[in-house]
């Protein structure tokens, strides 16, 4: 499989700065993938109406030739290693990693949906992605994501913060 760019959305609202740093370290250590870009951090309101702490969200880019399902398994392993527990839908979490885009690939099944179905609806996914990939296009429509950003339905971002060192 040829190398392509993978974009992830990362979020945390349990010790977010600590867990985001740990997640980035795990991504840097992945075999078969190279971390190439990290967006600024975004402080955001919780998604899904749950009463809980605010989140820190960001986007990252990796170059990889690994298959989609291998990448999904690796992201889930990182979440588990960082203490992710799925006790409540949209509940508090140490780390949440979502695959936003994987080159121009499209996957639609129960285990893997790429492009991520919330990408064009949630500002905390789309705006950090556009910061590191302003030229990115939607793999289904071919439209530039920048042109689609005005249609974001859910605006959760409170403020943009500096990137982590």
What is d(CA 70, CA 66) in angstroms, rounded to the nearest whole number?
6
Q: In this structure, what CATH number is given to the domain that contains residue 124? A: 3.30.70.560
User: Is 45 an annotated catalytic residue?
Assistant: no
- The count of domains in the chain is 1
Nearest Cα neighbor of 69 from 32, 28, 111 is 111
Q: Answer whether residue 41 shows pLDDT above 90.
A: yes
User: Is 104 an annotated catalytic residue?
Assistant: no
User: Is 96 an annotated catalytic residue?
Assistant: yes
Q: Answer whether residue 113 shows pLDDT above 70.
A: yes
What is d(CA 136, CA 78) in angstroms, rounded to the nearest whole number?
26
State pTM to two decimals.
0.94
Domain coverage including residue 130: 4-161
Catalytic residue among 84, 122, 155, 165: 84
DSSP secondary structure letter of residue 38: E
The mean predicted confidence, pLDDT, of the chain is 92
Residue 83 Cα distances to 93, 96, 97, 132, angstroms: 8, 10, 13, 27
Helix (H, G, I), strand (E, B), or coil: what is residue 96?
Answer: strand
């Amino acid at each position: 499989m040829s190398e392509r760019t993978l974009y992830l959305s990362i979020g945390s609202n349990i010790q977010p700065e600590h867990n985001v740093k740990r997640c980035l370290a795990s991504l840097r250590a992945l075999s078969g993938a190279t971390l190439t870009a990290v967006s600024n951090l975004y402080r955001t309101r919780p998604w899904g109406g749950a009463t809980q702490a605010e989140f820190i969200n960001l986007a990252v880019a990796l170059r990889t030739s690994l298959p989609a399902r291998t990448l999904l398994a690796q992201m889930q392993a990182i979440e588990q290693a960082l203490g992710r527990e799925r006790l409540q839908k949209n509940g508090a979490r140490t780390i949440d990693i979502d695959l936003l885009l994987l080159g121009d690939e499209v996957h639609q099944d129960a285990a893997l949906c790429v492009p991520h179905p919330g990408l064009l609806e949630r500002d905390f996914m789309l705006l950090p992605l556009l910061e590191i990939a302003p030229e990115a296009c939607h793999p289904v429509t071919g439209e530039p994501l920048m042109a689609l950003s005005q249609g974001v339905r859910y605006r959760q971002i409170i403020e943009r913060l500096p990137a982590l060192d």
